[in-house]
């Protein structure tokens, strides 16, 4: 990593060589930034992994980049010299089982409640965080595509409502609702297929849990009420 940072610093100096000749302080600034970055990479990051982050957080970070967690980080996080990285309790295990479930669904799926990965609880948290893999295994690519198409229609509808608002507050609120739904959908789906870290974010109106259902419903109800009263607002 230090070599990469050195190469980046060298390329930056080469690109800005004319500015560096006229202003030596720019070169000093680049060197200072290089020392800071190398110091953070060499000393700051290991310290954070060993003394700040917890075991499950370290596992999620390493599962995102597709690497195994070093034993020294696990030992430092748990305080147990005999501790080693586990398999079933890691986020990497969840993602692998989720991928297997989605892939086994094929084009049309195995049918409702007939998926082996989800029916026999190979996938942890399949009713909440990993609910999309249940849909992927049960209804296959076709069912997953239809679900995402419905979400896309919902997002376009919210954006359409936002564009016809007459007040700045209503328009900003509508775009905020669209952003909340988009990030929840995108991150949850990407999380189940290994493209995003496992951060425990629900899939709107699908994941089990009353809190998320009520929250998303209230967001839409407020938007609908603001849209109903848009003619009463002067530009």
pLDDT along the chain (235 residues), means of 10: 70 71 77 82 79 74 68 66 49 75 81 72 75 85 91 93 88 92 91 79 86 91 89 64
Backbone Cα Rg of the chain:
24
Nearest Cα neighbor of 181 from 159, 160, 211 is 159
CB contact at 8 A, 139 and 104: no
Residue 30 lies in a domain: yes
| Strand, coil or helix: 144 | helix
Residue 84 lies in a domain: no
Together in a domain, 102 and 214: yes
pLDDT at residue number 218? 93
Together in a domain, 214 and 187: yes
Give dist(CA 13, CA 11) in Å, integer.
5
Together in a domain, 55 and 96: no
Supply angle C-alpha 34, 40, 41, rounded to 5.
Answer: 90
pLDDT at residue number 216? 92
pLDDT at residue number 222? 92
pLDDT at residue number 92? 67
CB contact at 8 A, 204 and 185: yes
Together in a domain, 161 and 112: yes
Which of 22, 54, 78 is where one domain is finished?
A: 78
pLDDT at residue number 160? 93
113: containing domain? 91-232
Residue 112 lies in a domain: yes
Report long-range pairs for 85-88 (Cβ below 8 Å, ≥24 apart): 85/59
Together in a domain, 18 and 112: no
Together in a domain, 103 and 143: yes
Q: How many helices (H) and strands (E) are present in the chain, helices listed first?
A: 11, 0
According to DSSP, residue 23 is labeled: -
Q: Structurally, how many domains does the chain consist of?
A: 2
């Amino acid at each position: 990593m230090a070599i990469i940072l050195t190469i980046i610093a060298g390329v930056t100096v080469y690109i800005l060589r004319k500015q560096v000749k006229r202003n030596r302080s720019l070169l000093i600034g680049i060197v200072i930034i290089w020392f800071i970055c190398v110091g953070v990479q060499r000393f700051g990051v290991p310290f954070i992994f060993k003394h700040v982050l917890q075991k499950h957080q370290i596992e999620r970070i390493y599962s995102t980049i597709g690497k195994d967690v070093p034993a020294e980080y696990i030992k430092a996080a748990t305080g147990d010299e005999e501790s080693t990285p586990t398999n079933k309790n890691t986020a990497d295990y969840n993602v692998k089982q989720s991928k297997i479930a989605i892939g086994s669904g094929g084009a049309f799926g195995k049918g409702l409640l007939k998926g082996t990965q989800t029916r026999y609880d190979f996938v942890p948290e399949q009713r909440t965080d990993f609910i999309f893999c249940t849909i992927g295994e049960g209804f296959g690519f076709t069912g997953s595509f239809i679900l995402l198409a419905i979400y896309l229609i919902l997002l376009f509808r919210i954006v359409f409502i936002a564009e016809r608002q007459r007040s700045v507050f209503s328009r900003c609120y509508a775009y905020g609702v669209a952003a909340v739904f988009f990030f929840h959908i995108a991150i949850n789906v990407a999380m189940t297929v290994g493209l995003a870290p496992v951060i425990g974010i629900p899939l709107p109106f699908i994941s089990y849990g009353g809190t998320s259902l009520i929250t998303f419903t209230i967001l839409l109800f407020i938007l609908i009420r603001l849209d109903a009263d848009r003619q009463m607002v002067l530009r």
